[in-house]
Structure 1
Amino acid sequence: MPPRWTVEQALALAPDASSATAGRKLATSGTWTSTGASPGAVWGLCAGSGTTPYQTVVDLTEPAFSCSCPSRKFPCKHALALLLRWAGGEVDEHGEPADFAATWLEARAARAARSAGRAEVRADRAPADPRAAGRRAEQREQRVSAGVAELERWLRDQVRTGVASADTAGYALTDPVAARLVDAQAPGLAAAVRRLASVAASGEGWPGRLLEELALVHLLTTAHGRIDELPEDLAATVRTRVGATVRTEDVLAGPPVRDRWDVLALRDSSDGRLTTRRVHLRGATTGRDALVLSFAGPGQALDVSLVPGTSLDADLHFYPGALPLRAVIGARHGEPGPLSAVAGSGVRAALDAWAHALAADPWTSDLPVVLGDVRVVPAPDGAPDGWLVADATGDALPLVPAPGLWTVLAVAGGDPVTLVGALTPRGVRAESVLADGAPVPA
């Protein structure tokens, strides 16, 4: 059997707070029958409003979920409840899955085998015409360059006319040029331009922040205009920031970094159209941080294969760039195991890493960090934020106000803790706290 998850690990998979609450409630009810667990799977029957109980199965290796209930959430409350019962030791271990569970697991294995076969067939096919691919790349570059040139004119207009009224202009100021950048296949620049409107409406001190953002956009357009003169890694960063995509297949073709990767934190964010899941990994041997991103549109499920509090022996392939952080998981070597002993750094080392990140990629907005042996303390009177995270030397950073801050305070309780988060220009955004070796989501 794989190691049992903690309650926190199970709840980290909940698609929203209401599902987590419903899963907790259902886990303690007496409606479960025929539950069991075997290496890599957990299953059970849960009585619902109808005469036929819901058949629920969880494949722990990814994980993946199946339930006969009508819910469109992944995982549903029944799958969450089943995982919570398993985490609490209330599911007996059996050698073989129940029939309904075995049928679903066998179908998954068959689909995986077919997918592997199709991948081999694709690999045997003749490569695409390189000349046609080159023409498409050249046409895209021409469109991007035209969009960048228009953006440069818009930036000069902002400098000439001033930004005094930007806080009242709203998105009417930025949407037209952002839309043209999307048409020019520069979605990264379009997002940066749209963000200017929210910066202008961010309250006291907005003019300074807006000028900083305008300067970064100007720096990006200048770098794109001289991209042929840049080092290869920095040129790759500029292309990515402008909006060029890198195929997953190309990333996987790069050199792997094999390690025992600890899954330390998971954070979801949404812009109303797309939900992004950001998972923070750290190599137990290399000490290297990595971010694995997945995306889902409305009604789609996010990747749930990385569970905070577990560790996996795997190959990671990093996207090209001057500051390689984003990665894709390649080959996995064995089943996930328990978390390693995670050692964090002090505040000064985190600031040094931030300085290095900005030198490599000036457009860095946050950096994954693990702060060890730190305390959460009240900020001095008059400080802009209410709480600081301080290490044993007395060096401190502000904690970014967020709903999860109260979880950090409750878990820390004034004692030294290991804090996992992201370093930003405003301070540290907490994402989890390690308690008894397991991450508690913040």
Structure 2
Amino acid sequence: MTEQGVRWTAEQVLALAPDAASRKAGSKLGTAGPWSESGSGEGTVWGLCKGSGSRPYQTVVDLADASGPAYKCSCPSRKFPCKHALGLLLLWAEGDGSVPAVAEPPEWAEQWLSGRRERAESKRVEGGGSSAPGSADPEAARRRAERRAERVTAGATELEQRLADLLRGGLASAEQAGYGLWDETAARMVDAQAPGPAARVRELGAIPASGPGWPARLLEECALLHLLDQGWLRRDRLPDTLAATVRSRLGLPAAADGPPVRDRWLVLAQYDTVDPKLTTRRIWLHGAESGHTRLLLSYGAAGRAPELSLPVGLALEAELSVFPGAGQVRAALGEQHAPPAPAALRPPGVTTAQAAARYGDALREDPWLDSVPVTLDRVIPTPDSEPGAWQLADAEADSALPLTPSARSRPGLWRLVALSGGAPVKVFGECGHRGFTPLTAWPEGAGAPVTLC
């Protein structure tokens, strides 16, 4: 497999934007007009951007950081990256000579670069000699874990009683109760320090208003909650890997203790989910040599983008360690041996039938699993028989996967249809009981990936 060079594409740059407004404003600055004294070298891009004041804004981007780009701009914006950093990167991505290769950056850019790299090295050295968090007093950590386990057990016991009351009174009572019953139950799970069940309980409140067939869906979700409760209450009888899965589904903390796997990891997809308190970023990676697909999670406080950012199409040489649990794909990013750079790698694909079978196999190890990461090879987006529904049909087999309802309403669906034009494409996404959610697609033959999320 060959590389496509180290210069990013415009789509990879715009994937860094914290919101749509920044994306639009940055695009307007991606021309040579407002820029002066711009240059690039050794993984760094810099330039001066004319603004409304008398002095231009000093903008510099460090692309050599293995955890993703870092930015510095003298503008007053609190967004990262700001529109000036996006515009500068778009101008650099054009590759038309507007951002020439220069031996050394200007003094103002060099000061920032030197300072942050010295701090990173100091942190690395200090971290190498320090002990793991909490290891100073293992007895205190053990007592805290026991107290939390007691609270989780009390919460699981109470949730079992509430589920029994619901079934005894009939599922129709859930429609009359509204959100109040579930909000109160979720609050009790938060008090019990069991965030996993709390999140699942909150979702139950929306099921009675979700259309025809809601009683069956509500019963299924209640059964999964009951199974999770029983898994915790009988955890001493479970195999170690399944017990670890139960703990992770309850939301109990765990360290990524799997053996580190060094590989060249291709960024398959990156997308954010936002709630009033937290922004969660999901980054899917595929190992070129190991063949493993892994998930990185990064978090940001409300209104702020998570720090880790790896646009689709980049590849980084790094070590990943998985978290405990049966069939676990979530991993922690360890030592990084090279900064992310564009790559022409593509993951191998499977048929739609094989994707469905893969999800079924994964459910045996984790019954609470909503979906698994899958790359589909040579599929064609086509309308389904249900009005407004779509599916991905195998180009060479009589099988298909329906798209999830959420995927049908995304603009990415029409990008996928346009990319295909009736021809087969390779698509990466998440395959689960609701269907398939496409996240990234590649055209037949050569071509850069297209993000769909």
Secondary structure of 2:178's partner?
helix
Secondary structure of 1:331's partner?
strand
Question: Counterpart in 2 of 1:402?
Answer: 409
**Match status 1:257 vs 2:278:** no
Q: How does 1:263-412 map to 2 (within 5 A)?
A: 263-337=267-341, 338-380=343-385, 383=386, 385-391=388-394, 392-400=396-404, 401-403=408-410, 404-412=412-420
Q: Following the alignment from structure 2 to structure 1, what is the Cα–Cα distance between the partners of residues 242 and 132?
A: 34
Q: Following the alignment from structure 1 to structure 2, what is the Cα–Cα distance between the partners of residues 126 and 270?
A: 30
The alpha carbon displacement at 1:184 in A equals 1.0
Question: Counterpart in 2 of 1:33?
Answer: 36
Q: Following the alignment from structure 1 to structure 2, what is the Cα–Cα distance between the partners of residues 319 and 48?
A: 47
TM-score by length of 2: 0.92
Contact 1:277–1:302, Cα closer than 8 Å, also in 2: yes
For 2:450, give the aligned amino acid. V
Question: Counterpart in 2 of 1:108?
Answer: 116
Contact 1:2–1:40, Cα closer than 8 Å, also in 2: no
The alpha carbon displacement at 1:124 in A equals 9.3
Q: Following the alignment from structure 2 to structure 1, what is the Cα–Cα distance between the partners of residues 134 and 25?
A: 51
Q: Following the alignment from structure 1 to structure 2, what is the Cα–Cα distance between the partners of residues 303 and 372?
A: 32
Contact 1:2–1:335, Cα closer than 8 Å, also in 2: no
Secondary structure of 2:18's partner?
coil
The alpha carbon displacement at 1:188 in A equals 0.8
Question: Counterpart in 2 of 1:75?
Answer: 81
| Among 209, 213, 219, the residue aligned to 1:211 | 219
Question: What CA deviation, in whole Å up to 9, does each residue of 1:37-75 have, x standing for no partner?
Answer: 112111111111111111111111221111111111111
Q: Following the alignment from structure 2 to structure 1, what is the Cα–Cα distance between the partners of residues 425 and 321?
A: 31
| Among 89, 93, 108, the residue aligned to 1:87 | 93
Question: What CA deviation, in whole Å up to 9, does each residue of 1:372-408 have, x standing for no partner?
Answer: 111111213xx26521101121310112213121111
Question: Counterpart in 1 of 2:245?
Answer: 237
Aligned length: 436
The alpha carbon displacement at 1:121 in A equals 4.4
Q: Following the alignment from structure 2 to structure 1, what is the Cα–Cα distance between the partners of residues 174 and 354?
A: 38
The alpha carbon displacement at 1:292 in A equals 0.6
Contact 1:36–1:97, Cα closer than 8 Å, also in 2: yes
For 2:267, give the aligned amino acid. V
Contact 1:367–1:423, Cα closer than 8 Å, also in 2: yes
Question: What CA deviation, in whole Å up to 9, does each residue of 1:117-161 have, x standing for no partner?
Answer: 331342399942222221111111111101111111101011011
For 1:74, give the aligned amino acid. F
In 2 relative to 1, CA 171–376 (structure 1 residues): closer, same or farther, beyond 3 Å? Answer: same
Contact 2:279–2:304, Cα closer than 8 Å, also in 1: no
The alpha carbon displacement at 1:294 in A equals 0.6
Question: Counterpart in 2 of 1:21?
Answer: 24
For 1:12, give the aligned amino acid. A
In 2 relative to 1, CA 126–120 (structure 1 residues): closer, same or farther, beyond 3 Å? Answer: farther
Q: How does 1:89-238 map to 2 (within 5 A)?
A: 89=95, 90-123=98-131, 127-238=135-246
Contact 1:64–1:304, Cα closer than 8 Å, also in 2: no
Q: Following the alignment from structure 2 to structure 1, what is the Cα–Cα distance between the partners of residues 346 and 188?
A: 49
Contact 1:2–1:39, Cα closer than 8 Å, also in 2: no
Question: Counterpart in 2 of 1:439?
Answer: 449
Secondary structure of 1:438's partner?
coil
Contact 1:32–1:46, Cα closer than 8 Å, also in 2: yes
For 1:438, give the aligned amino acid. A
For 1:86, give the aligned amino acid. W
Q: Percent identity among equivalent residues?
A: 50
The alpha carbon displacement at 1:2 in A equals 7.0
Q: Following the alignment from structure 1 to structure 2, what is the Cα–Cα distance between the partners of residues 384 and 213?
A: 27
Contact 2:134–2:141, Cα closer than 8 Å, also in 1: no
Q: Following the alignment from structure 1 to structure 2, what is the Cα–Cα distance between the partners of residues 365 and 420?
A: 16
The alpha carbon displacement at 1:437 in A equals 4.0
For 2:374, give the aligned amino acid. V
For 1:241, give the aligned amino acid. R
Q: Following the alignment from structure 2 to structure 1, what is the Cα–Cα distance between the partners of residues 117 and 225?
A: 48
In 2 relative to 1, CA 167–97 (structure 1 residues): closer, same or farther, beyond 3 Å? Answer: farther
